[in-house]
Structure 1
Amino acid sequence: MIFVDPSGDDTGPGTVERPFATLQRARDAARPGTVVTLRAGTYRLTDTFLLTAAHSGVVYQAQSYGTPDQEEVVISGGREITDWTASDDGTRQGTHHGTHHGGIHRAETPGPAPRQLYAHGHRVERAALPLDGHALVRTADGYTTKGAGPQLWLGDVEFVYRGAYPWSEGRCRVAAVSGDADTTTITMAAPAFEQATRLYHSILTWEGPGAGESYGVDSPTSAENSPAFLTEGTFATVGTVLHYRPRGAEPPAGVVAPVLETLLHAQGVHNITFRGITFADATWLRPSTPQGFLHYHGNGYYDGGGMETVTFAEGQGQVTVPGDNASMPGNLIFEDTSRVTLESCRFVRLGAVAVEFRGKGADNTVRDSEITEVAGGGLVIGEGARDHHVENNHIHHIGLDYRGSPAILVTGTRDTVIAHNQVNDVPHAGIVVYEGRGTQVVNNLVHDTMRVLADGGGIYVSGPQGDSHANGALIRGNVVRDTITPYNFGLYTDYGAAYVTVEANVVHRADAPVVLTVWPPLEHVVFLGNVWDADPGEAPDGVVLKDNTTLPAASFATDPRAVAITEAAGRRPPRPR
């Protein structure tokens, strides 16, 4: 056994009496079968913690893991900021109301300008200004508007395009602001703005959000990241200078800025376990570049290259889509790994996707863990993965900055099992299953999804899921409730979903429980023995409805079938250690 303590010494033997100080020293000393025990404290990484095949066969766990005396271990990619200067300089003149806001503190950032900030372990919101009342007229490279107000903006301001498509939210930087007393010209960063203008163009004739011809960039919904927008409990950056207005009169304390983009990258390893460890304080800086963040769907975004026009059937119109999506990366990446287990861990204060399984890995497991307070997605299992298990986790309050991000996303996988998880407080879809084979989504509790964007669902399944019902997707025993924004579906089978069995689920308090007619049409989709609160209508070709029950709202708490499904869904007590 090897012991590590933040106050230890890497020149020591790594014993309980003389522990190592760093994870890297313990990694290099460990051999297959070694248990690395981490004592309480915060391990602040200066570089990504790298694991290769040579580091396989090791367990990393908190001291006294699984007992009442388990110690709190945090692996952090952040830096604490302590050298603050109280300042009113620039704030008085930069306030968008033209009035003075006191209590501003400044400090040099410990790395690139942060997109997130945390105080005493809690998120500090980025300063923002709603643009609803600003009459912006789009030009070839930005906007014009009446008056001189935006000329007072300082910092690397970013425009947010919430609902550029109903399911999308893009971000582009402002390159320059100029003008006179009568008119302001806002020049947007290239190439993001020109690309966003082309990407977010649709002609929709359906009844729902986004109908008609529209350019998503015509109506930015908010601007972020200027001291001019500061209110109590927010921050902004100007170059490498951080401006922070704490709540109340207290000076800043316990403030951490994430610096690393990747906390851990494991490649080619096998038989690695992490137990009882918190991973925290990482970022993702791509949206701060002139390329911006041109979100399309899920964790996907446009990263250059071609665009395509998708035309819907029955005269419903067309949308522009990326020819090839890029994907938001994980702050923890497990690439081509096998038999990796993340058990009773916590993933918090992260700036991209919290955990990503990438490549042709097999038999990896995430269980009994929590993912929360994440700027992007919760968990991704990607192309080529086999036999992964996501069990008994709580994933909530994710997508805090990139609001199209789902809690769990699987794409191109075989035999993934997503079971007994709780997913809640998500801005768009909760569990997303793109094209794959043999995916099982069973006995999950999914609630309070679709809180910000539209056209999604608590559980969303898209594309072919196999070539028979035997190896297709199984969506069974889930409870999906409180799917919030308009134009959503509790259980959403979409875009040519095929060979999907939707069985014995409880779905209520959504805009609609399910949808049966989509484009491309559903094929070999069976809805069997579900309980929902609205009749979905007649089944089109390719869809079978059998033994489903429609209940009034008041009956879900007493109907025996609904109660039995509800009691079996969601998290279970962790297994004994």
Structure 2
Amino acid sequence: MLDDQPDQPDQPDQSGQLYVAPWGRDSWPGTLDRPFATLPAAQRAVRARTASLHSDLVVNLRTGTYVLDAPFTLDADAGDSGEHGHRVVYQAHGYGTPQQEKAVVSGGRAITGWHPGEVDGAWRAEVGSLETRQLYVNGRRAPRASFSPGLPGSVTKTETGYVTDSTAPQSWQDPTSIEFVFPWVYPWSEARIRVAEITGDARSTTITLAQPAFDWARELYTATWVGGKPESPESPESPESRRDTRWDGLARPSSAENSVSFLAEPGTFVLDRRTPGRHVLHYLPLPGEDPSEAEIIAPVLEKLVVGRGTEENPLHDVTLRGLTFSHAGWTEPDGPHGFLHFFANTYYGGGELHKVELAEGNAHVTIPAEPRLLPANVEFTAAVRVALHGNRFTRLGAGAIGFAGPGRDNAVVGNRIEDVSGSAVTVASGTGTRIQQNLIHHIGREYHGSPAVWVTDAREVTVAHNEIHDVPYSGIVVTGGSHAARVQIIENLIHHTMTVLADGGGIYLNGVQGSSYAEGTLVRGNVIRDTVTPYNFGLYTDYGAAWVTVQGNVVHRSDTPIVLQVTPPLENVAFLDNFWDDHPAGADSPPSGVTLARNTVLPRDGFEEALAADPAGAAILASAGRSAPPVGPSPGRAE
């Protein structure tokens, strides 16, 4: 038996293969029959070899769950990069074969010790000082217990919160753990703010919200619109009846979360923080669930993988493939700053605010001077030739994957990304990132303003042949900037986006995207269906978008296929050879900065049949999505 063998029998294997298994020992040499037990042990062996690599060095993870007690940190300065043209690869054993094993990298903690709770049918477990916003039961994300509407009765907003003529909130348990949710605080945004105190008498209740979050929210979420914004998620206006509006997304919360008093829906949970250091999880099971048999996991870590380098010494030539990354969270929104979402993956964490005038002073929005980025649970800074291939990212409490800093030539290819609180992939600056052949769905589960893929101020990024669906905001967002150039959004299948918020699209672009059509953004061959909520556009070029070619795409079942009149106006935006099911407003006399040519309007009823009957339309439909081959050269950019 392996357990009977001595701990230090021989020297480590020098074949270029290392092995890790839950049944291994860190004192063993990391061979197939005597594997390491943990990733840190394998990493120490890697670091001892990288300076003298003469082939790829592959770390094979055998079947099992690898529970981390700290983020797995890949550090260029510590020797984690590949060298001499060779890679360091961490992979599931048997990657790419029918015998590929299932290796899970987890930042979670199994919750045990359940017993009957104070709510009929509920379970409770003491969890010490654990902080979590997520709980996973038998692999399913359990929502936090909630109450809608967020406040009953007739509600008045005050400088510190709200007053209602209902006395019901005075009975809510553990009020300082309660979080109010404000969807459509801007139409594309959603805010979350904790309760600080609930007081009242026989006639009314006063709810005081956490500071500085509520003061900051009152400063940030101020806007006036000149036609074109819906009234609210509950009663959106039709496009014909939109009117000028002074927006108050904080008028009242739409829901309240995380009190035992709300624990009525089976399958939901609450984290009770009434006693510091002795927090209690409450869970109301689904029919048939047994606490003695259920696997219940709460995230503990906020990062699973951290890859870091510098511009002078980037992390480089590292590949992660065939692995599952699960059970990481993010708890900053629980604090006094709340979560004041602004746009895409940005939020306000204090500092200077700017009032931006629109439409010749008849409208404005307020924006943060230096917004913060919602983090990713797998995050790389200053990375070069880092590849994520064939992995699964699931049950995550922030974003899934993030690249930032002066990186280049990174790849996110063939992954499955699902059940994520924020975005699937974020590329903030850098050059040459490829995001291809991924299946991305059910993201933005908690932070509804998160797009599936967000590219900002980056160069030569290719987002191609992905399938994206069931997204609360936009599918793909490309934000321009001073470094933006040559982004390609090619032959993706995008459907069921904008399922919660508004003023977005299947594909959304804003800002200057380059310096010419050749240097700008190309959106070609995408199929966009079912852009769900009112006030959206299937293909949305917004807020001064410039140097964009939108060619040979299909748009079906959106509020409107494209928009032509925005503020600041579009400049050098070309819509060529597209198929859609409605005449865009203003298409007969487009703005001077817009080119419209050879676009085809097909009837909304019978659209699929008409598209399939058109050879060009049928070719677009056949090429979009993950089944098509990787994208090649990109002809057709406007000149």
- Structure 1-normalised TM-score? 0.95
What is the match of residue 391 of structure 2? 345
2:262 corresponds in structure 1 to: 229
8 Å contact kept, 1:442–1:475? yes
Contact 1:499 1:524 in 2 (8 A): yes
Of stretches 136-145 and 480-489 in structure 1, the one that deviates more from structure 2 is: 136-145
Q: Does 1:548 align with 2:548?
A: no
1:17 aligned residue (20, 26, 33): 33
State the match for 1:511 in structure 2.
559
1:562 corresponds, among 593, 599, 617, to 617
| Structure 1 Cα separation of the partners of residues 527 and 281 of structure 2 | 44
In the other structure, the counterpart of 1:214 is 247
* Cα distance between partner residues in 2 of 1:558 and 1:396: 30
Q: Distance in 2 between matches of 1:557 and 1:352?
A: 40
CA distance in structure 2 between the aligned counterparts of 1:337 and 1:304, rounded to whole angstroms: 29
Instruction: Tell me the CA shift for residue 110 of structure 1.
Output: 6.2
Do 2:154 and 2:166's aligned partners in 1 also have CA atoms closer than 8 Å?
Answer: no
| Counterpart for residue 247 of structure 1 | 286
Is 1:369 the counterpart of 2:420? The answer is: no
Q: Distance in 1 between matches of 2:397 and 2:331?
A: 9
Picking from 94, 97, 119, the partner of 1:64 is 94
Equivalent residue letter for 2:317: N
SS of residue in 2 equivalent to 1:216:
coil
Partner of 2:591: helix, strand, or coil? coil
Question: Does residue 116 of the first structure (1) align with residue 134 of the second (2)?
Answer: yes
Pairing 1:188-203 to 2, within 5 Å after superposition: 188-203=209-224
1:101-123, Cα deviation, whole Å (9 max, x unpaired): x1111112365321011011110
Question: 2:25 is matched by which residue type in structure 1?
Answer: D
Of 317, 328, 348 in structure 1, the residue corresponding to residue 363 of structure 2 is 317
1:467 to 492, 504, 515: 515
Tell me by how many angstroms 1:218 deviates: 1.2
The change in CA–CA distance for 1:111 and 1:68 in structure 2 (over 3 A counts) is farther
- Letter of the aligned partner of 1:213 in structure 2? R
Q: Distance in 2 between matches of 1:176 and 1:294?
A: 20
Amino acid aligned to 2:534: P
Is contact 1:344-1:367 (8 Å) kept?
yes
Match of 2:627 among 550, 567, 572: 572
Q: In the alignment, what sits opposite 2:239? A: none
**Aligned 8 A contact 2:128 2:280 in 1:** no
Residue 633 of structure 2 corresponds to none
Does structure 2 conserve the Cα–Cα contact (< 8 Å) formed by 1:368 and 1:574?
Answer: no
Pairing partner for 1:79 from 90, 94, 109: 109
Helix, strand or coil: the match of 1:401? coil
| 3-state secondary structure, aligned to 2:170 | helix
Amino acid at match of 1:118: Y
1:360-509 equivalences in 2 (<5 Å): 360-383=406-429, 385-435=430-480, 436-509=484-557
Match of residue 264 from structure 1: 305
Aligned residues of 1:103 and 1:249 also touching (Cα < 8 A): no
Deviation per residue, 1:261-287 (Å, 9 max, x gap): 011101121111111000001101111
The one-character-per-residue Cα deviations of 1:388-424 (angstroms, maximum 9, x if unpaired) are 1001001110001100000000001110000100111
User: Which amino acid in structure 2 is aligned with residue 158 of structure 1?
Assistant: E
Residues matched between the structures, number: 562
1:177-224: per-residue Cα shift (whole Å, max 9, x none)? 111232211111000011111211222231331452232211211000
- Between stretches 75-84 and 243-252, larger displacement belongs to 243-252
The answer for the alignment partner of 2:67 in structure 1 is 44
Using the TM superposition, give the Cα deviation of residue 18 of structure 1 relative to its aligned residue in structure 2, in angstroms.
Answer: 1.2
- Please show how residues 94-113 of structure 1 align to structure 2 within 5 Å: 102-109=120-127, 112-113=130-131
Asked whether the 8 Å contact 1:490–1:507 carries over to 2, the reply is yes
1:357–1:380 Cα contact (<8 Å) kept: yes
Tell whether the 8 Å contact from 1:451 to 1:485 is kept in structure 2 after alignment: yes
Contact preservation (8 Å) 1:205, 1:315: no
Hey, which bits of structure 1, 4+ residues long, moved more than 3 A? none
Shift of 1:315: 5.9
Aligned partner of 1:171 in structure 2 is 192
Match of 2:343, SS?
coil
Q: Normalised by the size of structure 2, how large is the TM-score?
A: 0.86
Q: 1:12: how far off?
A: 0.9
Distance 2:580 2:471 in 1: 21
Over residues 426-484 of structure 1, what are the superposed CA-to-partner deviations in whole Å (9 max), with x where a residue is unaligned? 00100000012110000100110000000001000111111111111000010011100
Contact in 2 for aligned 1:422/1:446 (Cα 8 Å): yes
Give the deviation of 1:539 after TM superposition: 1.3
SS at match of 2:620: helix
State the SS of the aligned residue for 1:296.
Answer: strand
Deviations 1:230-259 (A, max 9, x none): 121100111121111111253332000001
RMSD (CA atoms): 1.4
Aligned to 1:34: 57
Counterparts of 1:181 and 1:354 in 2: how far apart (Å)? 47
Take 1:474 and 1:203, find their aligned partners in 2: how far apart are those partners?
Answer: 32
1:535 to 578, 583, 586: 583
Find the aligned partners of 2:612 and 2:495 in 1 and give their Cα distance: 16
1:206–1:316 CA contact under 8 A, matched in 2: no
Q: d(CA) in 1 for partners of 2:67 and 2:337?
A: 30
270 and 478 in structure 1: CA distance in 2 versus 1, 3 angstrom threshold: same
Asked whether the equivalents of residues 539 and 561 of structure 2 are also in contact (C-alpha less than 8 Å), the reply is yes
Distance in structure 1 (CA, Å) of the matches to 2:192 and 2:217: 9
Output the CA distance in 1 between the equivalents of 2:230 and 2:455.
Answer: 26
The structure 2 residue matched to 1:147, chosen from 166, 173, 177, is: 166
> Are the counterparts in 2 of residues 40 and 72 from structure 1 also a CA contact under 8 Å?
yes
SS in 2 for 1:287: helix
CA distance, structure 2, for counterparts of residue 343 and residue 521 of structure 1 = 40
Contact 2:329 2:377 in 1 (8 A): yes
Letter of the aligned partner of 2:20 in structure 1?
A: V
**Percent identity between the two aligned chains:** 49
AA aligned opposite 2:393: F
CA contact (8 A) 1:110 1:257 kept: no
- Name the stretch that deviates more: 124-133 or 502-511: 124-133
Deviation at 1:574, TM superposition (A): 8.4
Distance (whole Å) between structure 1 residues aligned to residue 201 and residue 166 of structure 2 = 8
